[in-house]
A and B are shown apart, each in its own frame.
Chain A
Amino acid sequence: MAVAGRRAMWWARLRSPCFAAAPLCLPPRLPAGPVACERLYSSRGKEKLDMSMYPVETIRNFSIIAHVDHGKSTLADRLLELTGTIAKTDRNKQVLDKLQVERERGITVKAQSASLFYNHEGVNYLLNLIDTPGHVDFSYEVSRSLSACQGVILVVDANEGIQAQTVANFYLAFEAQLAIIPVINKIDLKNADPERVEKQIEKLFDIPIDECVRISAKQGTNIERVLQKVIEKIPPPQCETADPLKALVFDSTFDHYRGVIANIALFGGEIQKGHKIVSAHTNKRYEVNEVGILTPNEQPTHKLYAGQVGYLIAGMKEVTEAQIGDTLFLHKQPVEPLPGFKSAKPMVFAGMYPVDQTEYNNLKSALERLTLNDSSVTVHRDSSLALGAGWRLGFLGLLHMEVFNQRLEQEYNISVILTAPTVPYKAILSSAKLIKEYGKAEITIINPAQFPDKLSVSEYLEPTVLGTIVTPHEYIGKIIALCQDRRAIQKDMLYIDEHRVMLKYLFPLNEIVVDFYDALKSLSSGYASFDYEDAGYQAADLIKMDILLNGNPVEELATIIHNDKAYATGKFLCERLKDAIPRQLFEIAIQAAIGNKIIARETVKAYRKNVVAKCYGGDITRRMKLLKRQAEGKKLMRKIGNVEVPKDAFIRVLKRQTDK
């Protein structure tokens, strides 16, 4: 698929399955990353640790934040090695990235934590490294990791300098009032220019040049200095063990044997096995079975104390019970809950249907199992005349959707039909009848089939995002043109040094959902970076466009679009579909229509000759195999009227084909 790999990772904030459960989910043929890498961790023996040795003033809780590829995971590996948390070998690569998908794609999709023990000037320190996903498509996941921290290491590549995610990450940390330690990585590279990067940091973030630490995580240069800075610059957490228990749930994973494992940060009090605790969110009571720290695998301890970070197992059966952002307290000792977080908002929706309705129950159970550890996927039952019973799923981005689909196929051997991705539009209803029907005047439309007619709507609304682009200045002209073409409005433009510019644009979300990032990368020779955050809704002139095959609407391709884009999009979809539909025994008209008006047309001509020339004397076995494969393929075709459409055609139509 075109939008894949590292370059597209800004999309994905994948809450993939917890690593503890991963060996159960992964098919045996896949290299069992999680199992293999566990051997790398040094064993601390079976003795439970006494965490009372680490009072609040010896604790530092911090994250590493960085633009993709700037070396966050490598720095984490070095910190783990230097503190003896893991044995030092040259095999330590992305130690905290345990999921197969993370190692395969070189990305972090799941936050991980590790407690490091470090002696500095005669004092034993407990340094809790709370890893964050390496991409901030929406600030939510990183900000939730940051909520357990008092400081961050902001890693910037000495060659690439500040990028879009660096900016976004910085502001997240800055707004959370965290101590920020700027670290310039990859100084060993030939083209490294740390002076330039220091100046950018000074100009954009107002951090004095002399506060930057120059390192090479790859070669291990100056890592000790980073740890010293962590101890010196980051304040210990402000809380008291004598206070009542107040624990923030900042992440959770699911283990098939032990149930929910909640990652917690203690903002007061202490916790141990046998404690009766209550969730402020659900008011449910639990008894603590186990507490411990992550090193980075689970290491049970007698207790956890104020200021510390670790995990808790308390008989929670479902991930939803360990609501991220929830506050836990002792039974009968309620506390003021911590502010918590807004939940992850799906930004891309698509219908998912079994290729064959008899597969419905299999698909249902596969979806249930996959979403168990990916609570950011929303699932609503849906049904379609053409496709039967299915679901409308909400994803965080297109890569998220792709990976989810890929995992269904790989891990559960299930083929599905995915409809065109859409963003959640809204409509303000004017028809009293509809308002009564919906029970409200403002409705969210996640399925084009539910798009209400203009006559019963006073206003349509579309979601927007505030995008940050950092680029070498020579590409500005092309990038501005691209943004304008995507209906974006410029909000800011700032030179961060003589050569680099930061642009801020307000984008309609649907304009960037499919191929914006590819376009940006291609016209800037890969140099421009992009990040975006939610920016609410705006009024928009929306219409519903249908795609017809020989007059029959293709439900999967019905699209809600901006009126200005109807013609271009219609033409584009028709052209793409033409390439995706094989010639058949009759001519196929592919049309884009708004209501009864046809706005674009392409034709797939009928086959006039399709018969193999020579068929004697030789081996007919091979030929029969091919024919049978084609017959098998027929069963996977989606029939629209009499037209047979390969099921991947819809996805192919909506993909950017960069090689074209």
Chain B
Amino acid sequence: GAPCPQWPYCRKRCSYCNFNKYVVPAVDEAAVRACVVRETRTLLHLSQVQSVTSVFFGGGTPSLASPCTIAAVLEAVAGAAHLPAGAEVTLEANPSSTDTPRLAGFRAAGVNRLSIGVQSLDDAELQLLGREHTAAEARGAVEAARGLFPGRTSLDLLFGLPGQSHGAWVQGLEAVLGLCDDHISLYQLTLERGTALAAQVWQGALPTPAPDLLADMYQTARAMLVAAGFRHYEVSNFARKGALSTHNLSYWRAEQYIGVGPGAHGRFVPRGEGGCSREARVQTLEPTAWMREVQSQGHGTRKRVVLTPLEQLEEVLALGLRTDEGITHERWGHFSPHLSLEAVFGVQGEAKALQQQGWLVLDGSGLRCTSEGLALLDSLLPDLLCQLQRC
């Protein structure tokens, strides 16, 4: 079980972000804290999770919450379930709210891994993205974080920005390699409906990056990071010295996770009320409404849908194939005890054709993408889903 509490507030709206977040003049932190704590307890009890494998503070901008809030939530987790000393506790942080004393406070509260939203080391790019920090501030934040969380600091980077050239990307990446710790997430910018950046691109005010350029940027980055000793362990994630993110891996492995906070999503079996099926759960989006619900009934779960065995397998497939290990026979068997990977994908059909074309591998360890196939996963999945649905 992996709780992921959400802190839904941001100081500024980034031009590309469509997450459920709120920019408000003043946050009643004590009240929000009380609600996050209460919902954490309620949902952990509901899940009957005995031991927590990881905690991930996401957002919004959770580094805007004070260390005592983080501490209170972790205490709630430890109170409701076993929280082993070595369990990964990640906090997403913005370079603008990560001065050393603050980071030390987070560490004292129990955070042992930091994921910093650097996004770029170019001031013009940062401005385009609507970030409130400069490249210099990002560098400062990373250095401060590495000092306090050595080997456990991750950097988020964006590529494929409107107007970004291949050369600029390579330069940026070189700079990052000089700065980074042992984990990097590289995300191709996705233009999301409803964001300022997407509107500008779709209206023609900004250029649309060419598909081939994006492919080149991705391939170059993969090569550079692998050369620097990183393992490309998920579509957008790279780690060296074994610094993989336990929390995110558990997500890609379709383990249980418990979303806490406004708009948080979860996947778990509510054993506490006698449930035995995995459910897709969504918490109430809007913070005020969510708080009212938590105050009155202990949680703000707005929607819960029982996932059918087929739907669970579809998620296992769509998430598991994003990783370099793919879907192991063991993991598949956990969700599909009667129909093995071989029985579904080893027979004549789409998967076989994709194997022959060199995009996919099915062998003794499981089903996974080849290195070429990984970049094309979204073209492989519909075929695989078709084959799965026929079983």
Contact = CB atoms under 8 A, between A and B. Distances in A.
A631 B314 CA distance: 11
B374 interface: yes
B58 A617 contact: yes
B379 A617 contact: no
A619 B265 contact: yes
Chain A's interface size range is 20 to 34
Nearest to B380: A585
Interface in B350-382: 357, 359, 374-382
A614 B160 CA distance: 14
Interface stretch (A220-228, A412-420, A605-613): A605-613
A624 B359 contact: no
Contacts of B280: 621
B377 to A, nearest CB: 4
B238 interface: no
Interface residues of B, number: 44
A611 B211 contact: no
Contacts of A633: 382
Contact of A608 (B4, B58, B319, B375): B375
A615 B386 CA distance: 21
Nearest to A627: B381
A585 B359 CA distance: 9
A410 interface: no
Q: Identify which of A605, A615, A630, A634 gathers the most chain B CB atoms within 10 Å of its CB.
A: A615
A615 B188 CA distance: 12
A455 interface: no
B9 interface: no
A584 B379 contact: yes
Contact of B376 (A607, A616, A623): A607
B212 interface: yes
A635 interface: yes
Contacts of B376: 585, 607-611
B190 A615 contact: no
A618 B190 CA distance: 14
Nearest to B159: A613
Interface string B250-266: 01100000000000010
Contacts of B311: 624
A613 B187 contact: yes
A408 B218 CA distance: 46
A614 B187 CA distance: 6
Interface string B279-320: 010100000000000000000000001000001001100110
Contacts of A615: 235, 252, 319, 322
Given A585-B357, A613-B235, A634 B386 contact: yes
Nearest to A621: B280
B48 interface: no
Contact of B378 (A605, A610, A614, A617): A610
A656 to B, nearest CB: 25
Interface of B: 4, 19, 56, 58, 187-190, 211-212, 214-215, 218-219, 235-236, 248, 251-252, 265, 280, 282, 305, 311, 314-315, 318-319, 322, 357, 359, 374-383, 385-386, 389
11 contacts: A605-B212, A610-B376, A611-B376, A613-B187, A614-B187, A617-B58, A618-B265, A620-B315, A620-B319, A627-B314, A631-B385
Given A583-B211, A585-B376, 7 more contacts: A585-B379, A608-B212, A609-B215, A610-B377, A611-B377, A613-B189, A621-B282
